[in-house]
Structure 1
């Protein structure tokens, strides 16, 4: 099964070998946004006038992404703490020969299995925390690959 949001975006998790290996992919309803942030350090002092002053901190918070998927009973997402490398491929525009994508490693922080309800499509949910690490066992820092214009 090819994971597909209907907009041709995909998300594929490659589970790290020491956490069982394999992949998790499902038909996604939503691939959430990824917000990467940095702290602002105040540099104001006693002679500062009018406004506080700031500089950017040294470390970026790598972020967490939430995804909602159609539950079919055959695609159980990994449980919390399982480490994986996530690849998200964005939809390609008509003038692009290759779509943009990003990849990063991390671990699952949530696995929500749906309740069974009459006349309701069963939806699962997962959250994935990027770990900001590049390691010998497959860890990958956030890396964005821009689309290629045809």
Structure 2
């Protein structure tokens, strides 16, 4: 399989009804990486000999994603604190019948309105923090759906 350049990747934000509803879809130039992490808890004790020992913590840090998009004034990202459900769909390779995707709920933590400069394409930015709230509590817990290989 050939590595992909990211062309045709999409991000769709479904804004929660309490925050006005609707969707935010833009011509994204970058859909940032999502890093989910867990704390390492040290379990070393006085009888430990060569190296410290660790176990994973109980809770995963859900992560935050930064997006950059072409600004046209009509597709302004929602302001900070607005809650939404984000669906990111990855590019589909020729050997796949369905692309990989992931979905999670969260809220915007930053919206950058670009400077107007001569001979420069204006680009807006936004940051979206995954909230880790399960479906039973009104959120959408992070869910990754792998690509389906063509038969």
TM-score bin (small chain): over 0.9
State how far apart, in whole Å, the 1-side matches of 2:53 and 2:136 are: 40
Which residue matches 2:41? 41
Q: CA RMSD in A?
A: 1.3
**Superposed CA offset, 1:37-64 (max 9, x none):** 0000000001111110000000000000
- What is residue 108 of structure 2 aligned with on the other side? 108
Q: Secondary structure at the match of 1:72?
A: coil
Note if contact 1:16-1:138 (Cα within 8 Å) is conserved in structure 2. no
Structure 2 stretches of 5 or more lacking a match? none
Aligned residues: 146
The answer to whether the Cα contact below 8 Å between 1:13 and 1:23 also exists between their aligned partners in 2 is yes
Secondary structure of the residue that 2:91 maps to in structure 1?
coil
Structure 1: gaps of 5 or more residues: none
| TM-score, scaled to structure 1 | 0.94
- Output the TM-score relative to the length of structure 2: 0.93
Which residue in the other structure is 1:80 paired with?
80
Q: What stretches of structure 1 move > 3 A for 4+ residues in a row?
A: 135-138
